[in-house]
Amino acid sequence: MRQLALKWAGSDSQMFICRDSFGHVVVTGRWTRDADESWTEWTAVKPSDLLVFSLAACTGYDVVMIMKRQRQRLSDLYITADAEQAPDPPYAFTHIHLHYVVSGQNLDPNKVKRAITLSQERYCSVAATIRGVTEITYSFEVRADPP
């Protein structure tokens, strides 16, 4: 089992420092002082956005690995995510749409689609975890590298 850790920045903040099982750090939340004009607000990633980032990164990792195994000459992968949340607490994600822009030389669109489908349905642990409560959809486009 992997252990992750979270430390509150303290004082009057809503900021947290998160450490993964490899020791990498991510900062989430915000630290404001409305009454102090000399204070500079600190902002970081929203914790809920980290879930969407995790989904995109997890499936992105899979797609790159699968495309390499398929001997596709991938040069770039860019993923955007559009996420919808319920209007009331706990604001659960109801739908996440990932759009993949896959670039390379002589890419086969069928292999791109297969790589994305395998990731979404078989390999990505984040997708597997949230699939029961969140609809996950995707689209993709293939761009050819200039010769």
* Domain map (residue ranges) of the chain: 5-43, 47-144
Whose CA is closest to 91, among 56, 47, 58, 54?
Answer: 47
- Superfamily designation of domain 47-144: K homology (KH) domain (3.30.300.20)
Among 16-25, 37-46, 56-65, the range scoring the smallest mean pLDDT is 37-46
74 pairs with which residues across the strands?
A: 104
Q: How far is CA 19 from the centre of its chain?
A: 17
Report the pLDDT value the prediction gives residue 82, as an integer from 0 to 100.
98
Q: Which range, 12-21, 24-33, 104-113, is most confident? A: 104-113
Measuring CA to CA, how many Å separate 6 from each of 56, 63, 98? 22, 30, 28
Query: Does 37 score more than 80 pLDDT?
Result: no
Q: Residue 48 is encoded by which pair of tokens?
A: 């809920």
Other Cβ atoms less than 10 A from the Cβ of 140: the count is 17
Q: What is the pLDDT of residue 41?
A: 82
Q: What is the spatial distance between Cα 48 and Cα 32, in angstroms, rounded to a whole number?
A: 19
Q: Say yes or no to pLDDT of 73 above 80.
A: yes
Classify the phi-psi angles of 55: left when phi > 0, otherwise alpha if psi is within -120 to 50, otherwise beta: alpha
CB 86 within 8 Å of CB 48 = no
